[in-house]
Amino acid sequence: MDSYKRIGRKLEFEGKIVKFYSDTMQLPDGSTTTWDFIEHKGAAAIVPVNEHGDIIMVRQYRNAPGRYTLEIPAGGLNAGEDKLTAAVRELEEETGYKSGKVEHLLDLYTTVAFCNELIGIYYTEELTPAKQHLDPDEFLNVEVHPLSELIDMILSGKIQDAKTIAALLAYKTKKGL
């Protein structure tokens, strides 16, 4: 198969989280076209499991779907921050829990067709109560659910967040539950 080649990139818009580009692409047959490309700084997420085996989740309003969503704690990487550090930080900021031992589950691209956002996903089964530190524009509720209930919510379409679905199914599989 012949290869694709980017022959141009134009920054169209720069936001707080992403940069939007128009890429001029040379196709395998030699013709050119324009593709959208969204550059993202990366993110991290964590599946926090309490001593009863239940999962600590966050419910928050999300602008893109225009509704509240139920998700695992997650957030963007700060400058110079690795994914593990970000996952641990987001856990405490959003839920008010500190983690003990943290294990890697998987990395996933959220939208491979036009965005390079790569999320590192972890889990912890060692939680200690701490203090929640929400960002000034962050309003969320912390909820605790059994894994089986969350899987049912995925299968019934009540949970549609891709990172949460992948993380919970990966955790269930890894632990043989």
Parallel/antiparallel/unpaired status of strands 32-40 and 18-26 = antiparallel
Can you give the residue ranges of every domain in the chain? 5-39, 41-175
| pLDDT by 10s per residue, the chain, length 177 | 579 999 999 999 999 889 999 999 999 999 999 999 999 999 999 999 999 999 999 999 999 999 999 999 999 999 999 999 999 999 999 999 999 999 999 999 999 999 999 999 999 999 999 999 988 888 999 999 999 999 999 999 999 999 999 999 999 999 998
Distance CA 150, CA 47 (A): 12
> In terms of Cα–Cα distance, which of 116, 12, 1 is closest to 23?
12
> Are the C-beta atoms of 159 and 121 separated by less than 8 Å?
no
- Could you tell me the two tokens for 158? 């009540």
Distance CA 20, CA 2 (A): 27
Helix (H, G, I), strand (E, B) or coil at 57: strand
The type of residue at 34 is T
CA-angle at 86, arms to 96 and 142, nearest 5°: 30
Distance CA 57, CA 50 (A): 11
Distance CA 7, CA 129 (A): 52
pTM to 2 decimals?
A: 0.93
| 41-175: CATH topology | Nucleoside Triphosphate Pyrophosphohydrolase (3.90.79)
Query: What's the pLDDT tens digit per position in 100-145?
Result: 999 999 999 999 999 999 999 999 999 999 999 988 888 999 999 9
